[in-house]
Amino acid sequence: MSVTPRQLIKWKQQGKSIIALTAWDYSFAQVLDEAGVDIILVGDSLAMVALGYSTTLPVTLDQMIYHADAVSRAVNRALVVCDLPFLSYQESLTKAINSAGRVLKETQAGAIKIEGGYPRVIEIVAELTTMGIPVMGHVGLTPQSVRLLGYKQQGKTIDEADRILDEAIALSQAGVFAIILEHIPSELAATITARLPIPTIGIGAGTKCDGQILVTADLLGLSQTIPPFAKSYVNLRQILKNAVQEFTDEVLNYQFPQD
């Protein structure tokens, strides 16, 4: 059975940790789904890990849909969530509705994610959820604001922490079914998690969130550098290089193919 937004909220109530990872193509999505990941996020981080950009800003809605289509075709169980990319929703409510609608019409994704918790985003979330479009929120470090905020930890001062808590509460009241907390102090993440009826999914936000997410390229050791809060569980870059080297050696030595 597929994971639904309602199921995620039930898991929070039952104290079951939620497992989330990113994916950008069919093969990796299939592996993650078979491994039992609950949420597969087609994150706009694919701009960096799959398309080679230095930030998430350049990726387009068409590109997100292309990747979400491939990922969602691979997935049987996990909830597939697709990021709305930079400037595909901030400009106006109409633009947000069109962008979210395109994702749901042109892919099998079950939900969209948008960044930020300022008043216009709250208005957009309220409208989308009223229309029956499941929305995931994302506060703290929001990479689409990199030009303003950089990649540094957010919520370190009392004012900043209060603002992030208020944003999370407002997003929850506007109807998001879950919220990503990125790179904020663990005490702040714990406070938000205790205050909200919906699950929090942490990345660089400590142990007290209802679930955890990583960028899969970081987890697998494919990224050249990883953020300080991430962890690589395998050095796939080296494993792949070794395989390519072995193939190269065998071809050069006429050992592959064999007659």
Q: Which residues bind ligand KIV (CB under 6 A)?
A: 22, 41, 43-45, 83, 138, 180, 182, 203, 213, 215
Cα dihedral 9, 15, 21, 27 sign: negative
User: Smallest Cα–Cα separation from 82: which of 15, 37, 136?
Assistant: 136
Cα distance between residue 170 and residue 122, in whole Å: 7
3-state class (DSSP) for residue 131: coil
**Which residue, 44 or 167, is less far from ligand KIV as judged by CB?**
44
Q: Which of 34, 115, 182, 187 is catalytic?
A: 182
Catalytic (active site) residue 123: no
**Which residue, 41 or 209, is less far from ligand KIV as judged by CB?**
41
Who contacts 42 (Cβ-Cβ below 8 Å, separation ≥6)? 22, 23, 24, 64, 67, 68, 71, 72, 80, 81, 82, 83, 109
Give the up-direction half-sphere exposure of residue 135: CA atoms within 13 A in the CB hemisphere: 32
**Which residue, 45 or 99, is less far from ligand KIV as judged by CB?**
45
Find the shortest distance in angstroms from Cβ 45 to ligand KIV: 3
- Per the CB < 8 A criterion, the answer to whether 139 and 168 are in contact is yes
Find the shortest distance in angstroms from Cβ 44 to ligand KIV: 5
Find the shortest distance in angstroms from Cβ 55 to ligand KIV: 11
Q: Which two structure tokens, joined as six digits, stand for 62?
A: 């068409």
DSSP state of 203: E
In the bound state, the residue with its beta carbon closest to ligand KIV is 43
Q: Which two structure tokens, joined as six digits, stand for 168?
A: 């999370």
**Which residue, 12 or 138, is less far from ligand KIV as judged by CB?**
138
Find the shortest distance in angstroms from Cβ 113 to ligand KIV: 7
Q: Which two structure tokens, joined as six digits, stand for 233?
A: 């569980």
User: Smallest Cα–Cα separation from 41: which of 62, 59, 67, 63?
Assistant: 67
- Per the CB < 8 A criterion, the answer to whether 177 and 136 are in contact is yes
Find the shortest distance in angstroms from Cβ 22 to ligand KIV: 4
**Which residue, 67 or 102, is less far from ligand KIV as judged by CB?**
67
Q: Which residues are catalytic?
A: 182
